[in-house]
Structures are given as C-alpha cells and as structure tokens.
Amino acid sequence: MSRPLRALIILTPLILIVSCSNPASDKPRAVTSDAAPAASQAVAGERYSITPENSDIEFIGAKVTGKHNGSFDKFSGEIQYAGQPEKSSVRITIDVDSMTTDDAKLTAHLKTADFFDVAKFPQATFESTGITPGGEAGATHTIKGNLTMHGVTKSITFPAKIAAAADAITVDATFAINRKDFGINYAGASDNLIRDDVVLTLRVRATK
C-alpha cells in the first residue's frame, strides 16, 4: 500500500468527524428541571395569535455522521401581552404528527414508538410560567415554562429575543434541548449514534 493511500485511510475518519460536528455545540442549552407550578390566574392582556401562517417551529437532530432539518406544519397558540414581556404569557400546542424532515423515511421513523410515538402522544404543549429581562447570547429576555412532550412534562428555561409592536409580538429563540429529558432514548446504530441534544428554533410573529 502506498504512503499516500495509507495517509488517506488514516485521515478519512478525522475528516468525517470534523465535517459532521454537533450542531448543538455552539447553541445555548435549555435548563431543564421538574415542572413548575402553573400560574395561579390567567394573564389579562391583548391576545396575539400564533399560527403556521405567521410563525415557524423548526429543529435540527444529529447523528455522529450527519444532521437532519425538520419542522412542524400544524400548531396554534397565543401571547397574552400585558404591556411588557415580563407581565405577559405564551401558550403553544403542536400537532406532533405534522412534523416533516428532509428525509421521508426519517420522518416516518420519528413518528414511531422509537421516538415521538405520535399515536400515543399526538400533541406537545408549552405554557410559560415566567419571563424575565436579559439572557445569554444577546437575548433580551429569558423564558421559563412547562413543556409537555412524549408524555413527559418538564420546566425548561431558555433565552429569547422579544420585541413588541402595535400589530405584532415577535419572539426569536434558538437553543439546544436534551431529548432524553423527555424519555426519547432511542440510541440509533452502534456505529452512528444519535446525539442527545436537539436544536430547536422558534420564529414567532404573533398577530392580533
């Protein structure tokens, strides 16, 4: 075997690892804990609707050798805006069966009991329990709330950029979340393990 060929064989795994780095490695990580108590009373404010026509919910999942992009096509929610983000609240319900990815076979597999088990758990929900000023990665605020997914409810805390106008409330957030915190434990192939962290991106443009 020639020296150049031996060098190529040695370098190929290193090139593969570098080219398929973890997409969650440079993202803020959501802090996950036991579910927080729900608000004692509903926030009274102006209602802004969250729909697939004005907002996007996207995710990136990764294996050792690559990554896949996905999104949810059906969801609904609202922001009750009470004059400033810290006094406001947000609620979202996601139709998990509406997920799509860049690979049809993967989409079908994600809907099985190996992952989201949509036949048993057709919806995921998020309800905020607190919004505070400031946050990491240039965020204007930090959002805390209860996320229910795959039949598990956890409190998650993540940074977001929130802006309010007369006709719309915008919320932009990108963060990593550990799927195993919600009982999604499928490991994948032994030579191509699935990474625990999933990158979630929210682009909300809630309107009256």
pLDDT digits (tens, 9 = 90+) for 137-151: 899 999 999 999 999
Q: What is the pLDDT of residue 18?
A: 43
Burial class (CB in 10 A: 0-12, 13-18, 19+), 142: buried
8 Å CB contact between 110 and 88: no
Q: What is the pLDDT of residue 35?
A: 94
| Threshold 0.75, pTM exceeds | yes
- Which helix (H) or strand (E) segment holds residue 200: the answer is strand 197-207
Percentage of the chain exceeding pLDDT 70 = 88
What are the backbone dihedrals phi and psi of residue 185, each rounded to the nearest 5 degrees, phi first?
-110, 0
Q: What is the pLDDT of residue 39?
A: 65
pLDDT value at 166 more than 50: yes
pLDDT band, residue 13 (cuts 50/70/90)? very low
Q: From CA 84, how far away is CA 91, in angstroms rounded?
A: 16
pLDDT band, residue 193 (cuts 50/70/90)? very high
Lowest mean pLDDT among 11-25, 66-80, 188-202: 11-25
pLDDT value at 11 more than 50: no
